[in-house]
Amino acid sequence: MSYVKLQNITKRFGSVVAVNDLSIEIEKGECFSMLGPSGCGKTTTLRMLAGFEDLDEGEISVGEQLFSSSHKGYYLPPEKRNFGMVFQAFAVWPHLNVFNNVAFPLQIRGLSRAEIGERTKSAILHTGLARYENAYPNELSSGQKQRIALARAIAINPAVMLLDEPLSNLDPKLREEMRFEIKDLQRKFGFTIVFVTHDQSEAMALSDRILVMRDGVAQQIDTPLNIYTKPANRFIFSFIGLSNFLPVVVKKGSVYIEGVEDSGPVSKTLPDGVSSDRLTLACRPSEVDLVKSGGVKAIVKRKVYLGEIIDYRIMVGGTEVRVQKGRRSTHFAEGDTCCLKFSRPIWYPGD
């Protein structure tokens, strides 16, 4: 059942349309990510949901409560929306210890001392800060400071947790650990998460569903698996994961890489619905087989070991194809002749 609803929302800054007629429905308890490159409108959308920006058009509601409506002229201020929010910056008060950092928003709300103490201690315990209750921010690591921000947001018992790139200032290992901790906290407390990121691995790891945005417009809303395996368009394919795009031509019922038809066909079966003799073949580096015979003839240009993965750059005429295979697969050396087989191509119109 839909819980958070954004209906036909639009936000303009002068002549720039930052968010254009966007509609989203998020279920209660869902982790929903907004993913896209810088300037795509994801943070503006989050700020409209939080109440930091008003709508030019559309309506936002959570449960049965209306938050913003352009045609009704209604706007609920941020402090009345019962949202927890964690920003990219840690936003901790340096003169307050961990306990008082977490307790401060509860004090502002005028809760009793007993309730403040109970909620604060619970939030500190669940974010792994119990040993640091009396420590000050300058005595803590970056990860511990971010846990303060999470604890502070959890302490208010939010209906929805808004996360605006909260992990981008952490090192890669700590960032990965915090992903799991955020997911565990969601399971414990049951709040809905709306998560903004430009990091596709974060979105894939955390999300039940992902919205991919570009230039203020929704491109696809789907599960992480479908976003990766069934991208709605070429932009999504290129933005999510590693990708190859090869110009191909259709000749005599077969598909060839353009300009090197003598290297052999990519496919002897025409893609469904082909109406042009020029196409673009899209494929993942992991979905190209590197074999000794029986495929498109090519030459190994470069080979790099990446731990469990060998990363190849393969030349087919003037076209470079990236291929990644496990280190236990058949090895090819730089300069070797090889053949390529495309196991799961996706076809787009030619450039």
Backbone phi, then psi, for 57, in 5-degree steps? -145, 155
Do residues 187 and 70 share a domain?
Answer: yes
Tell me the pLDDT tens digit for each residue of 35-55: 999 999 999 999 999 999 999
Do residues 108 and 47 share a domain?
Answer: yes
Nearest to 44 by CA among 168, 164, 199: 164
Do residues 119 and 54 share a domain?
Answer: yes
Do residues 324 and 312 share a domain?
Answer: yes
**Residue 343: Cβ within 10 Å count:** 10
Unique residue bearing structure tokens 């960032």: 175
Q: Write out the DSSP string of 321-349.
A: EEEEEETTSPP--TT-EEEEEESS-EEEE
**In whole numbers, what is the pLDDT of the chain averaged over residues?**
91
Contact 302, 313 (CB under 8 A): yes
> Domain span at residue 120?
2-238
Do residues 185 and 280 share a domain?
Answer: no
Q: What is the pTM of this model?
A: 0.88
Do residues 210 and 260 share a domain?
Answer: no
Do residues 249 and 228 share a domain?
Answer: no
Write down the pLDDT at residue 1. 64
The residue out of 199, 214, 238 marking a domain boundary is 238
Write down the pLDDT at residue 156. 87
pLDDT under 50: residue ranges of the chain: none
Write down the pLDDT at residue 331. 87
Taking the C-alpha atoms of residue 108 and residue 207, their distance in angstroms, rounded to an integer, is: 32
Write down the pLDDT at residue 177. 81
Taking the C-alpha atoms of residue 305 and residue 173, their distance in angstroms, rounded to an integer, is: 21
Unique residue bearing structure tokens 């430009």: 198
Do residues 211 and 254 share a domain?
Answer: no
The residue out of 177, 208, 238 marking a domain boundary is 238
Do residues 213 and 294 share a domain?
Answer: no
How many separate domains does the chain show? 2
Question: 164 exposed, middle or buried (CB, 10 Å; 0-12, 13-18, 19+)?
Answer: buried
The residue out of 210, 238, 266 marking a domain boundary is 238
Do residues 126 and 250 share a domain?
Answer: no
Q: Where residue 301 sits, what CATH number does that domain have?
A: 2.40.50.140
b/e for 287-326, b at 16 or more Cβ within 10 A?
bbbbeeeebbebebeebeeeeeebebebebbebebbbbbe
Distances (CA, A) of 50 to 44, 63, 109, 176, 196: 10, 15, 18, 26, 12
Q: Where residue 80 sits, what CATH number does that domain have?
A: 3.40.50.300
Do residues 143 and 279 share a domain?
Answer: no
Residue 270: DSSP 8-state: P
Write down the pLDDT at residue 186. 87
Amino acid symbol at 179: R
Do residues 289 and 213 share a domain?
Answer: no
